[in-house]
Structure 1
Amino acid sequence: MVRIPTVWAVVMVGILATGCGGTTAPAPSSTTQAESPTSKTPRPATKVDDAGGRMVVTYEDATTPEAKKGRNLMERTHFLDEITQAVTDSFRLPFDVPVVASECGEANDYWDGEEKKLVMCYEDVDESIRVFTESGDPDPEDTARRIGIASFYHELGHMAIDIYDLPVTGREEDVADQLSAYELLAPDDKGDVDADYVRAARDIAREYTVLSDAGGELEKEAFADVHTLDQARAYNFTCWIYGSDPETNADIVKNGLLPEDRADGCEGEWDQLTRGWSTLLEPHLR
């Protein structure tokens, strides 16, 4: 079942869990506890008139073996059609947003701020299939499908920041990761969490770890990239998964997937993340 978290359900979870407390914004290295959130009033999100916009998916031609393999999975599983319909049903879009499944020549997905379109690359799906086939995953295609869902929500973060003129106080790539985690892990209005989406969050963390291990020694320039290093992104997602439900996800700490000193602050990180995104998105949801 595809769903978008209901804002007020998430807000209440955050309020009941944390009261006036919180943690500093998630960062690659560590987090520290704070006595209370900042007293400064954030700039209110810009309200957008509901013009009946929707997300419109198109599948472009694929010519290379990699692109053909990625397109085949995307069309066969319909995951892109399902999640874009969920966004259309939940977000007040000021105009139609093209979602283009495309042969890009590289494994990548992106939000095009000039043309106002979201591009999902066939090669990115193919790379996930290859990575998890090589790592012995029992169902690499289904894992690639879930990673495609997580990647879409990351790009949705960039889209939301752009079309709603949302304020961000950190690197935009990190903030987009937070929205992806929010959409994957937050409960719906009935308090239910989509198990397939939780697996998607776990899978994207696994992929970052695999890519980090395969990348070898880092060049100095890697530390200047707009994206946080892959292993740090893996720890961030793992922390948010654990923080969203420590009891259900206790295996994360037990199996050493997350250092205990980071895990101690993950509930606070998750509460801050959900309260922040709930506040930013509330004016723009139906």
Structure 2
Amino acid sequence: MIPAYGDAQSPEAMYGRTLLQGDQLLEDLADNINRRLKLPYDIWLRGSQCDEANAIWNGSANTITICYEGVTLDRRIFTEAGDPDPRRSALNSEYAKFYHEVAHMAISLYRLPITGPEEDAADQLAAYILLTPGDDGHVDPESVQAMKDLARTLGATESRPGQLGEEDSTDVHSLDQVRMYNLQCWIYGSNPEANADLVTDGQLPEGRASGCRKEWEQLEQAWSPLLEPHFK
């Protein structure tokens, strides 16, 4: 995977580009993939001005694009929420979004079978990659926090009651609030003791939390045999 930063012209894009470059996030993300996955050919990881907040896997161009505007929007969301370190939380959210696109990439490159909508499968696979212990038997705490911050971003951008329209209901993505609770459930289910704060802080309802360990085990059993042959 080869990182590259494209030009930025709008204020939103220039600010997002500055955040990404200052943290060398694209370089770190590309290095993570190069160390972990067997890629059949080069994949570009591009930072780009997209004129929208987004992240995209393009199988025809073999490219994952991180839109600068998304980083800027995340920073604004966490700033307005009073986050103690909105820059770090915004970069964490983009980190997790990247792995959602990596999941799309893996489904495409390795011809992984899925049942159900691909966007839901990509959320599952991103969670599996980020929340599964490494060779040392430990889960990377930064990866866990990245998933938590992505869930917080989804919670902040959800459509408000009474504002849901046909476009929301027919989108290929599940509603942001549904995705938020799914991510929180899998984080909690992967290690209930370490992530008990999701329940005690009132983020994840106890009624959903009670089944999250089982949800995680099912997710793990489904994705482990599919992705394992493609790890280095």
TM, length-normalised to structure 2: 0.96
Q: Give 2:194's aligned residue.
A: 248
The correspondence for 1:79, drawn from 25, 37, 55, is: 25
CA drift at 1:217: 1.5
- What do the CA deviations read for 1:59-97 (whole angstroms, capped 9, x no partner)? 001111100111111111112211211211221111001
Q: Check whether the contact 2:159–2:176 (CA below 8 A) recurs between aligned residues.
A: no
1:263 aligns with 2:213: no
CA drift at 1:214: 5.8
The correspondence for 2:111, drawn from 165, 178, 182, is: 165
The correspondence for 2:145, drawn from 186, 199, 212, is: 199
Structure number with higher helix proportion: 2
Q: Check whether the contact 1:80–1:149 (CA below 8 A) recurs between aligned residues.
A: no
- What do the CA deviations read for 1:103-140 (whole angstroms, capped 9, x no partner)? 11100000012112111110111110111111111111
CA drift at 1:183: 2.1
Structure 1, unaligned runs of 5 or more: 1-54
Q: Give 2:7's aligned residue.
A: 61
Q: Cα 1:163–1:243, aligned 2, differ >3 Å: closer, same or farther?
A: same
The correspondence for 1:141, drawn from 87, 91, 98, is: 87
CA drift at 1:250: 1.5
Which amino acid is the alignment partner of residue 179 of structure 1? L
- What do the CA deviations read for 1:34-56 (whole angstroms, capped 9, x no partner)? xxxxxxxxxxxxxxxxxxxxx00
Q: Give 2:66's aligned residue.
A: 120
Percent identity at matched positions? Answer: 49
Question: CA separation in 2, counterparts of 1:274 and 1:92?
Answer: 20
Q: Check whether the contact 2:8–2:49 (CA below 8 A) recurs between aligned residues.
A: yes
Alignment of 1:214-233 (within 5 A): 217-233=163-179
Report the 3-state secondary structure (helix = DSSP H, G, I; strand = E; otherwise coil) of the residue aligned with 1:58.
strand
Q: Check whether the contact 1:101–1:122 (CA below 8 A) recurs between aligned residues.
A: yes
The correspondence for 2:45, drawn from 99, 108, 111, is: 99
After TM superposition, what 4+ stretches of structure 1 lie above 4 angstroms from structure 2? 213-216
Q: Cα 1:216–1:98, aligned 2, differ >3 Å: closer, same or farther?
A: farther
Alignment of 1:27-38 (within 5 A): none
Backbone CA RMSD of aligned residues: 1.4
CA drift at 1:225: 0.9
| Structure with larger RCO (C-alpha < 8 A, sep 6+) | 1
Which amino acid is the alignment partner of residue 109 of structure 1? A
CA drift at 1:216: 6.1
Structure 2, unaligned runs of 5 or more: none
TM, length-normalised to structure 1: 0.78
